[in-house]
Amino acid sequence: MTYFSGDETNAPETTVECPSCGEINKEGVVACARCGRALLSDEQMKERRAQIEAWKREAERESVEYTTTANLLLDRFTGAGPKKKTFGPISNHRKRIGLACIAAAVIIVVLLGIATGR
């Protein structure tokens, strides 16, 4: 059974009649709009279930990939991830130079404070 909709294209649409209540439904509708009975054959239902399961697996895989990527980025930016040593231990010589620089900066600040009278 076909009918024409009120569209400008006047394209025919195929319909399916519900075997239980006689409601006219558009083709591709899974359940009757009035009584809810399944309008697909057993083979169509199996294909539909397989397609839905494939979509679920794909969505889960994408979700896991996204979550893994997001976690890696968060770990990288927050420093919460596994620590890698990029530099060797600081030598005593470098520690002494750093301490001397900090001490010199403190002394300069103190001297400037005394010189300005604050």
Are residues 46 and 27 part of one domain? no
Of the ranges 2-11, 36-45, 53-62, 75-84, which one carries the lowest mean pLDDT score?
2-11
* Count of structural domains, the chain: 3
Q: What is the mean pLDDT of residues 88-101?
A: 81
Looking at the chain, the whole-number percentage of residues with pLDDT higher than 90 is 11
pLDDT at 8: 47
Q: Residue 8 is part of which domain span?
A: 1-39
For residues 34, 40, 41, 44, the Cα torsion angle rounded to the nearest 10 degrees is -170
Q: Whole-model pTM?
A: 0.36
Does pLDDT of 27 surpass 90?
no
Give dist(CA 11, CA 33) in Å, integer. 22
Q: What is the mean pLDDT of the chain?
A: 77
Are residues 99 and 118 part of one domain? yes
Are residues 34 and 2 part of one domain? yes
Are residues 73 and 44 part of one domain? yes
Q: Is 21 helix (H, G, I), strand (E, B) or coil?
A: coil
Are residues 33 and 1 part of one domain? yes
